[in-house]
Chains A and B, each alone.
Chain A
Amino acid sequence: MAMGKGNGAGKPIAVTGIGVITPLGQGVEENWKKLVAGTSGIHAITRFPTEGLRTTIAGSVDFLPLDHMSPPALSHALADTAAEEAMGQAGWLEEEDEFPGELFIAAPPLEHDWETRHHLCHTLAAGPTSPYTMEDATFRPNEDLTPAHRDFTFGHLAAVLARKYRTQGSPITLTTACASGASAIQLGVEAIRRGSHPAALAIGTDGSIQEEALIRFSLLSALSTKNDPPQSASKPFSKNRDGFVMAEGGAALVLEDPDLAKARGAKILAYVRGCGEAADTFHRTRSNPDGKAIVRSMQGAIDDAGIAPEDVTYINAHGTSTPENDKMEYQGIQNVFGAHAEKGLAVSSNKSMIGHTLTAAGAVEASFSVMTLVDETLPPTINYEVPDPNLPLDVVPNEARKASPDFALSNSFGFGGQNVSLVFAREAS
């Protein structure tokens, strides 16, 4: 039980391990190398037939060896791969003690894909009918059906990972749509700050690209339809941007009380210094035109970090490449940073190369924000050929740039009006 140790507001939390897997590849090193080189991970979809679809490209992760390909299986593998790398880097895989922290995992709301549904309707009903009609309720449970049931439950993935990485207490699976990965980190930071536990494992994962998910986003007119060439489709902050590109990935961050990290002799990569969040009450898929929730989110993170907007010289943007998001994000930045937004502030979008890893994006981009500080390099916004004159930002166009920002602000905004911003820093103070 949490005992009042104060709310720990503004207390810096150490990042001692990161792990990443995206369409660019597996592991932080390979990802960072390609990201800095401006490589795109977007390609034509081969996982399922795309005949008749308006969008036929994605940043799917197709290189992991899986016994059985399904969204739950892939999401699990992405989370586990990232967690193993992060926990290894932080030195927790060799520790004898259990990991002294909770698990917060941002995971997509997994559903059976159509292949599984089709398989089930044969298994359950021994014929081509729906498994969702009660006519077939005479089937008996058997061992073949256990995985179908297990994949249907949202808590399973977290429980398996909690046992594997020996985390404490009840693991939390969460979703705040496209801000989920950042929310997982925020929950971890808060738990350490209030003294519940001295560490936390925050994971974001999303391996849910299948025909129905793609079509659903397509029906909301959210996706780019510039399928050819795939690498050029995601163009955040460009005038001719026309939607985001779905992608898959996983990322994990090991968060620790700096005292614990120092006592273990663990290397501290960076610090989380501030978290901000705000809910927009305007619309299910659009931000309030006043942009207030985005402003509150960024301002909240900056205030929590105890710094001034001028101290921030780099923003890892949400930058989805949708007409709406990039406009609203620019307005928010303009509002918070004023004249500083036009001079001295670089804003780049990893999504230009990776696409939008949805539930995982906040954690993926947090990891790259840490790498930006560690490697003193700003990753570029690629495909920036036609700047949008209404969004006059330094987007680090097309090529990475050497720079040594003290802080990186990472933005994540989601459908349903959920906004989270995180401030990462090189130093604890």
Chain B
Amino acid sequence: MTGTGLLSPLGETVDDWWPKMGDPAAMAAAIDTQSYTPFPVYPVGEYDIDSQIPRPGDQRTMGPLMHYGCYAAGLALEAAGVKDNEELLLNTHMVVASGGGERDWELDHNILENLDKAEDRGVYLNEQLSNELRPTLFLAQLPNLFAGNISIVHKVAGSSRTFMGEEAAGVDSMRIAYEKILAGQGDLFLVGAAFNAARPDIIHMVHAGGYALNQPVGNLWDRPKDGVAFGSAGAFLVLEAREHAEARGAKPVAKLSGVLSGLSDRSEGAAAKLAGGQWAALSDQIHDRPLAVISGACGSGPITHEEEAFLTGIAESGQDLAVRGTGRAIGHSLESSFLANAVIAIGCLERRAIFPPLSPEAPIEARVETAEVDQVLVTGWGYLQGEGMALLEALDG
């Protein structure tokens, strides 16, 4: 791993977000409780979009989702020393996870308000859509343009693949890049995702499914089924074959020692059983001292309780864990959740430390307050499906 880029509700660099992790006032300040009442949302703060997407024309053809991604991708490329290096970019392969971009809410709202009054609904709809849709809106909306825009703005030209499918898409983007590097199917990958939480359509539909938190945020590990509070994010990583990084004199920030994904049927205990297999595959590489776990627990009661019980089981069986569920601090960022947590894990490896518990009232977080960190386990269970796990290590650890 030779570069990271993060745009989050608590800031961009480790220096930005580290002191806020576990600081109740700073975490509370990151939450917007007003815009989508009763649903709390973690938006990203101000960021210098011009520094990574300088052309106004490029900015105009994207919505916030793509802005976040394109911006974080630029940060990661810059950190890895790949940015503006035409030769490297020609061989940089992109694997990203994305949902759909933003719609024109105002237009949707107008149409729906007037649809019932229309003499002929079909004709009215055709007329409205033909006359009022901005032609370029389509391009801000297609998920593959998420990668397409990164290709255009940052000149990433190796290849481009976009995975869809909520949290698991983020896990699999990292897994496929990792597997390809191990097998020699490419040396240099840009992996990433973004999520815009400040979207009424997403909040509403997730609420319709019975998963959106509609009360003040509290202990991440003790919420009802409707316990997901969304957070915006852009998270990118440059993954590179070690020899490739060494040959060009790039300084790696961490080593990825395994990334696994699976699909359990989500009957009771199924996700924990699958994760148990993943843990067994990785645990040989894990040192005895307390292991930092950056968890992507979504907050939805049943599945988050299952993850808590799973992690407690490991922690009580001799391998103590310092677990931090970042959803409490930055919200749940769906496609980008796993990758944002991987970037946070790299921050922990750089500092050789773990920040204080984020939900201190939860026994799983409170059991280890500080630890020396040279390995971090990242977990990511989707709120509906998909289970992921990765092991990141410090380089000389």
Interface of A with B (CB < 8 Å)? Answer: 1-9, 48-53, 107, 109, 111, 114, 117-118, 120-121, 124, 128-134, 136-137, 139, 141, 145-146, 148-150, 152-156, 158-159, 162-163, 169-177, 180, 183, 187, 190-191, 193-196, 211-212, 215-220, 277-285, 293, 414-418
CB contact under 8 A between A169 and B258, given known A49-B122, A278-B159: no
Known contacts A4-B182, A132-B204, A279-B159; 14 further A-B pairs (Cβ under 8 A): A50-B126, A52-B126, A114-B111, A132-B109, A137-B207, A155-B382, A158-B165, A169-B262, A172-B163, A177-B144, A194-B183, A219-B135, A284-B139, A284-B152
Q: List 22 A-B contacts (CB under 8 A).
A: A2-B183, A7-B184, A109-B142, A141-B207, A141-B209, A154-B166, A155-B166, A155-B382, A158-B165, A170-B263, A172-B172, A174-B164, A194-B183, A211-B126, A211-B129, A216-B133, A216-B138, A218-B130, A279-B94, A279-B158, A279-B159, A282-B152
Q: How far is the CA of A216 from the CA of B139 in the complex (A)?
A: 10
Kindly list chain A residues whose C-beta atoms are within 8 Å of the C-beta of B184. 4, 6-7
Q: Are B157's CB and A1's CB within 8 A?
A: no
B195 at interface by CB-CB < 8 Å: no
Which residue from chain A places its CB closest to the CB of B214 in the assembled complex?
A: A137
Q: Are A149's CB and B208's CB within 8 A?
A: yes
Q: Are A51's CB and B183's CB within 8 A?
A: no
Q: Are B165's CB and A6's CB within 8 A?
A: no
Q: How far is the CA of A212 from the CA of B180 in the complex (A)?
A: 38
Q: Are A132's CB and B151's CB within 8 A?
A: no
Interface of B with A (CB < 8 Å)? Answer: 35-39, 61, 94, 99-100, 103, 105, 108-109, 111-113, 115-117, 120-123, 125-127, 129-130, 133, 135, 137-139, 141-145, 147-149, 151-152, 155-166, 168-169, 171-172, 175-176, 178-180, 182-185, 200-201, 203-211, 214, 226, 258, 260-263, 265, 281, 382, 384-388
Kindly list chain B residues whose C-beta atoms are within 8 Å of the C-beta of A195. 183
Q: How far is the CA of A128 from the CA of B124 in the complex (A)?
A: 15
Kindly list chain B residues whose C-beta atoms are within 8 Å of the C-beta of A279. 94, 147, 151, 156-160
Q: Are A155's CB and B183's CB within 8 A?
A: no
Q: Are A416's CB and B144's CB within 8 A?
A: yes
**Chain B nearest CB: distance from A266 CB in Å?**
25
Q: How far is the CA of A281 from the CA of B120 in the complex (A)?
A: 43
Q: Are B125's CB and A130's CB within 8 A?
A: no
Q: Are B105's CB and A417's CB within 8 A?
A: no
Kindly list chain A residues whose C-beta atoms are within 8 Å of the C-beta of B179. 1-2, 191, 194, 196
**Chain B nearest CB: distance from A184 CB in Å?**
10
Q: Are A134's CB and B208's CB within 8 A?
A: no
Q: Are B144's CB and A141's CB within 8 A?
A: no
Kindly list chain B residues whose C-beta atoms are within 8 Å of the C-beta of A155. 164-166, 168-169, 382, 384-386
Q: Are A215's CB and B157's CB within 8 A?
A: no
Q: How far is the CA of A62 from the CA of B129 in the complex (A)?
A: 24
Kindly list chain B residues whose C-beta atoms are within 8 Å of the C-beta of A174. 161-164
Q: How far is the CA of A191 from the CA of B185 in the complex (A)?
A: 10
Q: How far is the CA of A53 from the CA of B124 in the complex (A)?
A: 11
Q: Are B123's CB and A130's CB within 8 A?
A: no
Q: Are B168's CB and A415's CB within 8 A?
A: no
Kindly list chain A residues whose C-beta atoms are within 8 Å of the C-beta of B147. 176, 279, 416, 418
**Chain A nearest CB: distance from B227 CB in Å?**
13
**Chain A nearest CB: distance from B168 CB in Å?**
5
**Chain A nearest CB: distance from B381 CB in Å?**
12
CB contact under 8 A between A146 and B209, given known A118-B112, A132-B108: yes
Q: How far is the CA of A184 from the CA of B162 in the complex (A)?
A: 11
Q: How far is the CA of A278 from the CA of B207 in the complex (A)?
A: 40
Kindly list chain A residues whose C-beta atoms are within 8 Å of the C-beta of B206. 149
Q: How far is the CA of A152 from the CA of B22 in the complex (A)?
A: 34
CB contact under 8 A between A173 and B125, given known A2-B182, A130-B112: no
**Chain A nearest CB: distance from B282 CB in Å?**
9
**Chain A nearest CB: distance from B317 CB in Å?**
23
CB contact under 8 A between A152 and B205, given known A118-B112, A130-B113, A415-B142: yes
Q: Are A212's CB and B129's CB within 8 A?
A: yes
Kindly list chain B residues whose C-beta atoms are within 8 Å of the C-beta of A48. 122
CB contact under 8 A between A163 and B265, given known A149-B209, A154-B169, A177-B142: yes
Kindly list chain B residues whose C-beta atoms are within 8 Å of the C-beta of A131. 112, 201, 204
Q: How far is the CA of A277 from the CA of B122 in the complex (A)?
A: 41
Out of A5, A158, A193, A278, which one reaches B157, CB within 8 Å? A278
Out of B151, B211, B262, which one reaches A416, CB within 8 Å? B151
Kindly list chain B residues whose C-beta atoms are within 8 Å of the C-beta of A4. 182-184
Out of B158, B200, B262, B384, which one reaches A153, CB within 8 Å? B384
**Chain A nearest CB: distance from B172 CB in Å?**
5
Q: How far is the CA of A220 from the CA of B133 in the complex (A)?
A: 11
CB contact under 8 A between A128 and B116, given known A1-B281, A281-B151, A293-B157: yes
**Chain A nearest CB: distance from B321 CB in Å?**
22
**Chain A nearest CB: distance from B193 CB in Å?**
12
Q: Are A153's CB and B166's CB within 8 A?
A: yes
Which residue from chain B places its CB closest to the CB of A134 in the assembled complex?
A: B36
Q: Are B148's CB and A284's CB within 8 A?
A: yes
CB contact under 8 A between A280 and B157, given known A49-B120, A174-B162: yes
Q: How far is the CA of A48 from the CA of B124 in the complex (A)?
A: 12
Kindly list chain B residues whose C-beta atoms are within 8 Å of the C-beta of A417. 148, 151-152, 160
Q: Are A211's CB and B125's CB within 8 A?
A: yes
